[in-house]
């Protein structure tokens, strides 16, 4: 993906570009990833880059009539104790500064999101945090 996008933006800036690919286009790491474009939990210095990347993914999806299948589903980080949650919640200050709509979920809200039957044996009584991307 990185080579292809570099080529795309170089071409848009007026350069002539040739792509030399030994195998299938986007067939290596880029074909195997989980597909997360994560803003949540990022360092303050890195977050603006991720926000811009998210905007560009959305744009390229529109340009290709949704053919890349980009979706904003949100991301939920769950914590197994109030102490761990408090540690995670510190990141909310960064989210607020960057105007992301991350917020803490109440336990009741989290329970609605997580199917209890899907929780493994010995799983925790989760408290949580959510980002909508
Ligand atoms: C299991 C997994 C999960 C991941 N999950 C995420 C995620 O959720 N979110 C995220 O942001 N990142 C994730 N990543 C990382 C992400 O996929 C990679 O960082 C990204 O795809 C790398 O892109 P790339 O273009 O640099 O590499 P690649 O997609 O590997 O592209 C390199 C290309 O170079 C070609 N090439 C290599 N040598 C030559 C040669 N000599 N001549 C010609 N062509 C050559 C290869 O064939 C390949 O097509 C994940 C990675 C893996 C493996």
Give first-to-last CA distance, the chain, whole Å: 21
Which residues pair with residue 131 across a beta bridge? 75
**What pLDDT, on a 0 to 100 scale, did the predictor assign at position 133?**
44
122 CA from centroid of ligand 1 (Å): 36
Atom of ligand 1 nearest to the CA of 1: 25
Q: What is the pLDDT along the chain (133 residues), one digit of tens a residue?
A: 999 999 999 999 999 999 999 999 889 999 999 888 889 889 999 999 999 999 999 999 999 999 989 998 888 888 878 888 888 889 999 999 999 888 888 878 877 877 766 665 555 566 666 555 4
**What pLDDT, on a 0 to 100 scale, did the predictor assign at position 117?**
61
Domain ranges of the chain: 1-33, 34-131
30 CA from centroid of ligand 1 (Å): 4
**What pLDDT, on a 0 to 100 scale, did the predictor assign at position 107?**
79
Q: Which of 38, 129, 120, 132 has the alpha carbon at shortest distance from 77? A: 129
């Amino acid at each position: 993906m990185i080579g292809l996008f570099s080529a795309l933006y170089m071409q848009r800036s007026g350069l002539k570009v040739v792509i030399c690919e030994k195998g299938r286009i986007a067939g290596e790491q880029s074909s195997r990833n989980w597909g997360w474009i994560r803003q949540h939990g990022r360092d303050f210095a890195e977050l603006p880059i991720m926000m811009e990347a998210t905007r560009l993914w959305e744009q390229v999806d529109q340009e290709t009539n949704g053919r890349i299948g980009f979706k904003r589903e949100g991301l939920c980080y769950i914590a197994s104790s109030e102490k761990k949650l408090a540690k995670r919640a510190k990141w909310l200050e960064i989210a607020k500064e960057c105007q992301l709509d991350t917020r803490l979920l109440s336990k009741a809200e989290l329970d609605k999101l997580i199917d209890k039957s899907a929780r493994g044996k010995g799983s925790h009584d989760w408290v949580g945090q959510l980002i909508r991307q």
